[in-house]
């Protein structure tokens, strides 16, 4: 059964269609792997075994009738941040423990329409606030390439489970790098689409002007497939874009001759791991050998991106998380009056990092500071977006590292939030500008830890990014699953 791990969704669908394997068998294969390996990796907060088996049986019945669906019978893992009808959704927080949504998020609805099997809820940083999955209030997920190291965050459970073969693929969310950074550190493909390309209806919000849902997969083909399913206009989301969605699969296999690749001079920062620098440079050389050309570009406001991001995202988090007060849903801790109840509920329900961001956000939105911080951050955000607009006049895509280093050890940065925040320095500008970006495995450092290549595209140009990623993947057989997780 080991070869199942190397098959993409299309190949698995062919096996299921030909009845060489049933969805119940395929789902059982993944559930057995989770039970065997997740005791050490801790990627799943909740395994939805009964739900998965019911969905698999339903898929087999549909296949028997000759019905079709792009994910019919294929088991996926879901980051615990989307509302899923009848299944507890916690955002890895004590605040939402026991919360069972009465409806499905749009992305879940679209996956269900294509017949997916829901394996379970994947761990994350609480309310998606973090870069290491150490801020989960339930457990600390480990990196499958080295169990002493973090998998990245906030979608660390999704990236680790996908990399270790504990699901065929998964969904994550990206507010400042939360899909791309864990994908890079775990050696998977991760896509953050253009802002508005994928509906956020039913996503539990962290920072509404930055959050975006995207796939985490073991190969580019599955990334294109999942994007084709989840992308598209949704009247339930006022920020959803009405532009038609291309067939991303059609772009796979096209060559890159004549493609212009922008290399930003500001992204070669001090403190970058030399292995990361060399591996990314080698990947750029590969593209040049295959007919692309490079052009140096400048993104001069990059140095202000992290500061700008942490003003905007904390302000929006302060506003979005005000709803968790013990009144309507989630945790409630009784007090002597309503104000005391608010205080006790929020004190117990939120973890340290979430409290830190709420306090920062409330401060920058407060009277007398709004203009000095939040308004100014919005203006700098515009300058960052304009930098990209100017750069794209000279190139088709931009290539950078995803992270300045490979995965760090658990506990290494927890006492220094600023150093932790800086680990997203290459991913944050993409969210501020609303652009699509993806992480593609491009090699390993001297310690055998994965390195990700970041491909940044023009608005709504995910297709060209996937085209470039597929060319690299097809010629460079970067190992996807660590040996210790290949058995059974």
Catalytic positions: 79, 154, 178
Show the tokens assigned to 389: 């607009």
Phi-psi region of 328 (alpha: psi -120 to 50; beta: other; left: phi over 0): alpha
Helix (H, G, I), strand (E, B) or coil at 286: helix
397-408 burial: b if 16+ Cβ within 10 Å, else e: bbbbbbbbbbbb
Phi-psi region of 105 (alpha: psi -120 to 50; beta: other; left: phi over 0): beta
Q: Torsion over CA of 373, 378, 380 and 385, rounded to 10 degrees? A: 160
Closest to 217 in 3D by CA, of 6, 482, 449, 409: 6
439 φ, ψ to 5°? Answer: -110, 135
Give every CB contact of residue 368 below 8 A, 6+ residues apart in sequence.
none
Q: What is the Cα–Cα distance from 210 to 444, expressed in whole angstroms?
A: 30
Asked whether the beta carbons of 425 and 266 are under 8 A apart, the reply is: no
Name residue 198's beta-bridge partners: 231
Is residue 46 packed enough to be buried (19+ CB in 10 Å), middle (13-18) or exposed (0-12)? middle
CA-to-CA separations, 88 to 13, 78, 101, in angstroms, rounded: 29, 12, 7
Give every CB contact of residue 392 below 8 A, 6+ residues apart in sequence.
262, 398, 458
Q: What is the Cα–Cα distance from 328 to 313, expressed in whole angstroms?
A: 24
Strand duo 293-297 + 260-264: pairing: parallel
Q: What is the Cα–Cα distance from 335 to 343, expressed in whole angstroms?
A: 8
Show the tokens assigned to 364: 């920058």
Closest to 345 in 3D by CA, of 354, 356, 332: 332
Q: Torsion over CA of 473, 119, 250 and 479, rounded to 10 degrees? A: 10
81 prior amide bond cis, ω within 30 = no
């Amino acid at each position: 059964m080991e070869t199942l791990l190397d098959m993409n969704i299309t190949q698995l669908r062919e096996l299921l269609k030909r009845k060489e394997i049933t969805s119940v068998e395929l789902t059982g294969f993944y559930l057995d792997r989770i039970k065997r390996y997740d005791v050490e990796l801790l990627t799943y907060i909740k395994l939805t075994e009964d739900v998965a088996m019911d969905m698999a049986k339903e898929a087999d019945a549909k296949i028997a009738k000759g019905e079709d669906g792009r994910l019919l019978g294929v088991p996926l893992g879901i980051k615990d941040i989307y509302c899923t009808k009848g299944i507890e959704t916690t955002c890895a927080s004590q605040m939402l423990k026991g919360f069972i949504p009465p409806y499905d998020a749009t992305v879940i609805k679209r996956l269900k329409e294509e017949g997916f099997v829901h394996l379970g809820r994947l761990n994350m940083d609480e309310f998606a606030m973090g870069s290491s999955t150490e801020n989960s209030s339930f457990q600390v997920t480990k990196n499958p390439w080295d169990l002493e190291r973090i998998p990245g965050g906030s979608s660390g459970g999704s990236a680790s489970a996908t990399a270790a073969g504990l699901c065929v693929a998964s969904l994550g969310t990206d507010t400042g790098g939360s899909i791309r950074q864990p994908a890079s550190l775990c050696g998977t493909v991760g896509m953050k689409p253009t802002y508005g390309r994928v509906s956020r209806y039913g996503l539990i919000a962290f920072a509404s002007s930055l959050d975006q849902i995207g796939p985490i997969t073991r190969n580019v083909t599955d990334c294109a497939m999942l994007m084709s399913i989840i992308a598209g206009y949704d009247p339930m989301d006022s920020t959803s874009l009405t532009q038609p969605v291309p067939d991303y699969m059609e772009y796979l296999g096209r060559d890159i001759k004549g493609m212009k690749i922008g290399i930003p001079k500001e992204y070669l920062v001090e403190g970058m791991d030399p292995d990361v620098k060399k591996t990314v440079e080698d990947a750029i050389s590969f593209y040049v050998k295959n007919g692309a050309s490079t052009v140096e570009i400048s993104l001069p406001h990059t140095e202000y991106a992290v500061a700008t991001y942490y003003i905007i995202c904390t302000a929006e988090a302060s506003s979005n998380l005000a709803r968790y007060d013990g009144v309507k849903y989630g945790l409630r801790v009784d007090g002597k009056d309503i104000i005391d109840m608010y205080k006790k509920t929020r004190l117990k329900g939120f973890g340290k990092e979430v409290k830190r961001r709420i306090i920062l956000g409330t401060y920058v939105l407060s009277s007398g500071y709004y203009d000095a911080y939040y308004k100014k951050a919005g203006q700098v955000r515009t300058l960052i977006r304009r930098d990209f607009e100017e750069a794209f006049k000279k190139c088709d895509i931009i290539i950078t590292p995803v992270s300045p280093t490979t995965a760090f050890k658990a506990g290494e940065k927890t006492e220094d939030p600023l150093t932790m925040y800086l680990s997203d320095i290459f991913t944050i500008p993409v969210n501020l500008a609303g652009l699509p970006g993806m992480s593609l495995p491009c090699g390993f450092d001297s310690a055998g830890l994965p390195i990700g290549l970041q491909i940044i595209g023009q608005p709504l140009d995910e297709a060209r990014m996937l085209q470039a990623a597929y060319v690299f993947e097809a010629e460079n057989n970067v190992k996807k699953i660590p040996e210790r997780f290949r058995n059974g």
